Amino acid sequence: MASSPYFSLAVLFLAALLFGLAPLGLAWVWARVFSPRKPNPIKNSIYECGLVSQGDAWVQFRSAYYLYAIIFLIFDVEAVFLLPFAVAFTGLGVAACISMLIFVLMLVEGLAWAWAKGILTWA
Amino acid sequence: MKTVEEIKAAIEAAVPGAGVTVVLNPSPSAQHSLRLEPAHALAVAAFLRDDPELAFDYLSNVTGVDWLDKEIAEKVKVTRQVTKTVDGPEGTKLEQVVDEIVEETRKHVEPGSLEAVYHLYSVALRHGPLVLRMRTVNRTDKVELPSLTPVWRAAELQEREVFDLYGIVFTGHPDLRRILMWDEFKDYPMRKDYVEPDDYEYEPTAHDAVLKRAQEHRSREQGSRD
Amino acid sequence: MVDNELKIELGKQGILVTTIEELYNWGRRSSVWPMQFGLACCAIEMIATTMARYDLARFGAEVFRPSPRQADLMIVSGTVTKKMAPQVVRLYNQMAEPKYVIAMGACAISGGPFKQGYNVLKGIDRYIPVDVHIPGCPPRPEALIQAFMTLQKKIDGQPLTGEGRPRFLDADAQCEFPVPEQGAHDLEPPSNQGVWPVEIQGVGSRERRDIDGRQVSTDH
């Protein structure tokens, strides 16, 4: 068995497993032996910044929310493009200005489309 | 800015029967104020805001005053009919009714009230402040005043505070709830007859008032234990 | 048991002698994570303490946790109003053991300048056990660092077994601190009798009891 070429690998694997699990096990044993569990209703209540929590922590979100996220992302990226443009604005020609305007208009068109589709109304 | 008397005249011209009185302030600041009749307060407030010459567009402050019931002792001269024995002719005694002027102290209780005070400025015309006052009928059950929130939106939170601490109920307020104290709280802490909870346990302190209250608490606690 | 002088001598020779207790407490005191919340102006000083100039990170306490489940230390920094007190007590309850409390500033200790206010709790130690009090209005960052060092000394001195072991190692110790109700006139009850001194013995002295009713100290 010792002659198997995978033997050293197996030993290493076991050692790695032990290295990872031993501290966890030790911590668990330590906690079991030394620190008694004392749960109580206040301690186990849902964390709500100190207030008594209203309802359950598991709530459903509308899936339509992802459209908001996408629109936000587009305008976020737009800001990344607009900032260097604004910094170099005085040194730019008319062509750069117009192309930037077209870029912004395209995004605004997307926003107008989303608006027209009623995505921005939360229902 | 117009003087309070001029403003009073303007109000009375615009809102007939408004019943505005001028409350003079004798101190050097001479910040006189106007007391409004609660029934006409909303109309007067709207006039003060919309009149182009006054244009009080900014409400900076709403506060409250608690006026306790006042016992007033007055010395009054009263004519009273007194029977007196007067020496009559030939050594006889005659009883005679005579008018006599007697000084008498009369006491009467002037009912207290809760007062809401509003401070107005005009940002457009850069003048102010104009101080408005309104009084409730008494301190106990008739404590309603009209809310001026419909006229100045800035009054909303401050009227809630006055409601919370003085207990004036503002009718027409969009959201009259306690704002500083918790909802279950029953007292009105800024009223003069508010009794604080007795929680001054003993502790060494250089603060005389605190020390006194702590010692009172301690003697009360010991008294209850014995 | 190696005595202290021998231990120092061995340390000079490059030999480290330690006990489990020492190692355990060293680990605990070197990463006291405070909870991230501030109540009033003292919080500004607390924030200053964590910044580069005072650098609380030197004491292993730079990680302010936004959740009580991950925090070891509650720094009550500022005025506790009666409206806020139940929330503070509930947060303390929600912290995992071992947990410690620093009452920072005059208000957290006794109500401070607002003691006579109708809405101010006259000291947070009425409801939760406080380990270190810092006077001052507000205390300077150095004072907070001093409090940290005091707390570290306290943690260092806690035995793991026997009498005087910390609450979380004691199966019988009470670990629930009732949250006060907001009543019609005041908080109910006005203080937690298990935490706040029960007996008043005489002017200038009071008995302090810990949560198990053991007498901790009598200060004069």
> pLDDT tens across C179-194, in order?
999 988 888 888 888 8
**pLDDT class of C219 with cuts at 50, 70, 90:** very low
A 10 A CB-CB count for B162 gives 25
The answer to whether residues C47 and C156 belong to one domain is yes
Mark out the alpha helices in C30-140 (DSSP H runs).
42-50, 85-94, 105-110
Give the three-state DSSP class for B66.
Answer: strand
Tell me how far apart the alpha carbons of residues C36 and C43 are, in angstroms, rounded to a whole number: 10
Query: Does A33 contact C at CB distance below 8 Å?
Result: no
Tens of pLDDT, residue by residue over A6-33, are: 899 999 999 999 999 999 999 898 888 8
Give the three-state DSSP class for C165.
Answer: coil
Average pLDDT score over residue span C53-73: 91
Q: Which of these ranges, A75-79, B55-59, B154-158, C204-208, has the smallest mean pLDDT?
A: C204-208
Residue C200 has phi, psi (to 5 degrees) of: -110, 115
The answer to whether residues C99 and C171 belong to one domain is yes
Chain C residues with CB under 8 Å of a chain B CB are 82-83, 110, 115-116, 118-119, 122, 182-186, 190-191, 196-197, 200, 203-204, 206
Among C residues 73-132, those touching chain A with beta carbons less than 8 Å apart = 86-88, 90-91, 93-94, 97
- Check if the beta carbon of residue C97 is closer than 8 Å to that of residue C211: no
Q: What confidence score (pLDDT) does residue A123 get?
A: 62
DSSP 8-class letter at C180: P
Provide ipTM, 2 decimals: 0.74
- Residue C211 within any structural domain of the chain: no
Q: Which of these ranges, B207-221, C3-17, C104-118, has the smallest mean pLDDT?
A: B207-221
Q: What confidence score (pLDDT) does residue C15 get?
A: 87
- Residue C190 within any structural domain of the chain: no
Q: What confidence score (pLDDT) does residue B218 get?
A: 77
- Residue C148 within any structural domain of the chain: yes
- Residue C102 within any structural domain of the chain: yes
**Tokens found for residue C163:** 């009498």
Nearest C-alpha in C relative to B185: C184
Q: Do C184 and B186 touch (CB under 8 A)?
A: yes
A 10 A CB-CB count for C23 gives 10
In this complex, the residue of C110, C185, C203 whose CB is nearest that of residue B197 is C185
Q: Do C185 and B182 touch (CB under 8 A)?
A: no
Domain range enclosing C22: 1-30
Residue type (1 letter), C214: R
Q: Do C118 and B202 touch (CB under 8 A)?
A: no
Question: How high is the mean pLDDT of chain C?
Answer: 85
Q: What confidence score (pLDDT) does residue B71 get?
A: 83
Number of structural domains chain C divides into: 2
The distance of A49 to chain C (nearest Cα, Å) reads: 7
Q: What confidence score (pLDDT) does residue C18 get?
A: 86
- Number of A/C CB contacts below 8 angstroms equals 42
- Residue C134 within any structural domain of the chain: yes
Q: Is the pLDDT of residue C150 over 90?
A: yes
- Check if the beta carbon of residue A37 is closer than 8 Å to that of residue A28: no
Tell me how far apart the alpha carbons of residues B103 and C94 are, in angstroms, rounded to a whole number: 73
The answer to whether residues C37 and C58 belong to one domain is yes
Tell me how far apart the alpha carbons of residues C92 and C128 are, in angstroms, rounded to a whole number: 8
Beta bridge pairs of residue A25: none
Query: Does A6 contact C at CB distance below 8 Å?
Result: no
- Check if the beta carbon of residue A12 is closer than 8 Å to that of residue A19: no
Q: Is the pLDDT of residue B204 over 80?
A: no
Q: Do B182 and C182 touch (CB under 8 A)?
A: yes
Q: Which of these ranges, B76-90, C44-58, C199-213, has the smallest mean pLDDT?
A: C199-213
Tens of pLDDT, residue by residue over C164-178, are: 888 888 888 888 899
Query: Does A94 contact C at CB distance below 8 Å?
Result: no
C-alpha dist (Å) from residue C56 to B175, C157, C159: 45, 21, 26
Give the three-state DSSP class for A118.
Answer: coil
Tell me how far apart the alpha carbons of residues C131 and C111 are, in angstroms, rounded to a whole number: 17
DSSP-derived pairing of the beta strands B127-135 and B33-36: parallel
Q: Do B184 and C186 touch (CB under 8 A)?
A: no
The answer to whether residues C60 and C158 belong to one domain is yes
- Residue C13 within any structural domain of the chain: yes
Q: What confidence score (pLDDT) does residue C203 get?
A: 39
**Domain residue extents for chain B:** 4-66+113-171, 71-109, 196-226
Q: What confidence score (pLDDT) does residue B213 get?
A: 82
Residue type (1 letter), A25: G
- Check if the beta carbon of residue B41 is closer than 8 Å to that of residue B18: no
pTM for this structure? 0.77
Q: What confidence score (pLDDT) does residue C54 get?
A: 92
CATH domain B4-66+113-171 topology: Beta Polymerase; domain 2 (3.30.460)
Q: What confidence score (pLDDT) does residue C211 get?
A: 45
**Which carries the bigger pLDDT value, residue C2 or residue A76?**
A76
Q: What confidence score (pLDDT) does residue B171 get?
A: 93
Q: What confidence score (pLDDT) does residue B115 get?
A: 94
Query: Does C158 contact A at CB distance below 8 Å?
Result: no
Tell me how far apart the alpha carbons of residues A117 and B9 are, in angstroms, rounded to a whole number: 57
Can you state the percent helix, strand and coil of chain B, rounding each to 5?
Answer: 25, 35, 40
The answer to whether residues C104 and C60 belong to one domain is yes
**Which carries the bigger pLDDT value, residue C201 or residue A48?**
A48
Q: What confidence score (pLDDT) does residue B226 get?
A: 62
Q: Is the pLDDT of residue B205 over 80?
A: no
Question: How high is the mean pLDDT of chain B?
Answer: 87
A56-83 burial, b for 16+ CB within 10 Å, e for fewer?
Answer: eeeeeeeeeeeeeeebeeeeeeeeeeee
**Domain residue extents for chain A:** 65-116
**pLDDT class of A1 with cuts at 50, 70, 90:** low
The H or E element that residue C130 is part of is: none
The H or E element that residue B145 is part of is: strand B144-146
The Cα angle at residue B29 between residues B23 and B35, in degrees rounded to 5: 15
**pLDDT class of B203 with cuts at 50, 70, 90:** low
Residue type (1 letter), A122: W
**Which carries the bigger pLDDT value, residue C187 or residue C216?**
C187
Query: Does B192 contact C at CB distance below 8 Å?
Result: no
The answer to whether residues C48 and C87 belong to one domain is yes
Q: Is the pLDDT of residue C200 over 50?
A: no
Residue type (1 letter), C107: C
Nearest C-alpha in C relative to A48: C91
Nearest C-alpha in A relative to C177: A42
Q: What confidence score (pLDDT) does residue B106 get?
A: 82
Tens of pLDDT, residue by residue over A40-80, are: 888 888 888 888 888 777 888 777 778 888 888 888 888 89
The answer to whether residues C51 and C130 belong to one domain is yes
Q: What confidence score (pLDDT) does residue C197 get?
A: 65
| Burial (0-12, 13-18, 19+ Cβ within 10 Å), B86 | exposed
| Burial (0-12, 13-18, 19+ Cβ within 10 Å), B8 | middle
Tell me how far apart the alpha carbons of residues B31 and B64 are, in angstroms, rounded to a whole number: 17
The answer to whether residues C169 and C89 belong to one domain is yes
| Percentage of residues in chain B having pLDDT higher than 70 | 97
The answer to whether residues C44 and C133 belong to one domain is yes
Which range, C2-11, C143-152, C189-198, has the best average confidence (pLDDT)? C143-152
Q: What angle in degrees, to the nearest 10, is found between the helix axes of C141-156 and C42-50?
A: 70
